[in-house]
Structure 1
Amino acid sequence: MDINQNAISYVQSLGIEAMVVRDIFTFFPKERFDLVITTHVLEHIPKDKLISVLRHFKEHILTPNGKIFVAVPNAQSNTGCYWRYEDFTHYTLFSAGSLIYVFKMAGFSNVEIIDKDALVGSRGLKRVFKQIFLKLYKLNFKFWNLVTNSSFHAPSPQVFSYEVKALASK
């Protein structure tokens, strides 16, 4: 489901069932879903509606054991501000901690941050080099946080990619 008819038409051309849904609060499917995937959607929803939207997914769209996968731009990334202001339709960005907070406020009991180091899909030497450079980056990051007295909330996972990915369950 999407609000964009062109996106729906494309997905339908692939043989996938899809529909336009302009108002999520009016969507009550005949059958609930085990998994809902939303990629780069939540940042387009006004803050005052975010928790209600997620709660609607939890209460009316997911099965009792259902899960929701979310990917959003990462406010903590090197390009966080870019993603916030490059797309003027973004209302907000998320850190891993703020995404967990929003899910908990919507009533989800378990939230897992996925691929914190952005290594999924990397193989062989590319993966090794990414791991090495990421360790150096983390040390540099930690050093400058010490120098400048900067910090993060302890329970907030640090994510080192342009997006935060999470899987939440009821």
Structure 2
Amino acid sequence: MDYFVYALEHIYTDESHRDSKFLGYFDDPDEAEKEKQRLLLFNGFSDYPNDFYLKKVGLNKIHWQNGFTEVVGEIGRDYLPEDDYIPDYGQIIKKLKLKTVFKVSHIYTIHTFLDDEREIEVFSDEKMAKNVVEFLKQKDGFNNYPDDFIINEIMLNDWQWSSGFG
């Protein structure tokens, strides 16, 4: 069975830059909407109210599984060939009754003001996330920066931001 989680992000562009804020994973779109409404009360989010994005993200799916050969820059997830394909028969993870998920990413510093970032994806348990990291450490690009993987345990339907920005 293919499962997915909802990811809420805020991505905006102003006169000087583009910025992306990860706002959380949700097992229910109504919970994501509640979080969006809460964040709209804060500076920055209220300045860009139309820049919230809710997308389905495949659970236990590996992005960049063949490694990489080029620098993609700050927001590597935007450079994936396409968004996650979620089959019509995919199920929201609410049925799994998970409390947390494990987000795997890889970030290394190119120079003082630029990191190269790739989101590997979100996994249902820590053991699987660690196994994916060990697998990817052998792949082109990742093998040059094997210590730059990050595994974050993220509570579902939880606040990731408690203030605004800007």
> In which range does the TM-score fall when normalised by the shorter chain?
under 0.3
**Please, what TM-score do these two structures have when normalized by structure 1?**
0.27
More RCO (CA 8 Å, sep 6+): 2
Give 1 or 2: higher helix fraction. Answer: 1
Give 1 or 2: higher strand fraction. Answer: 2
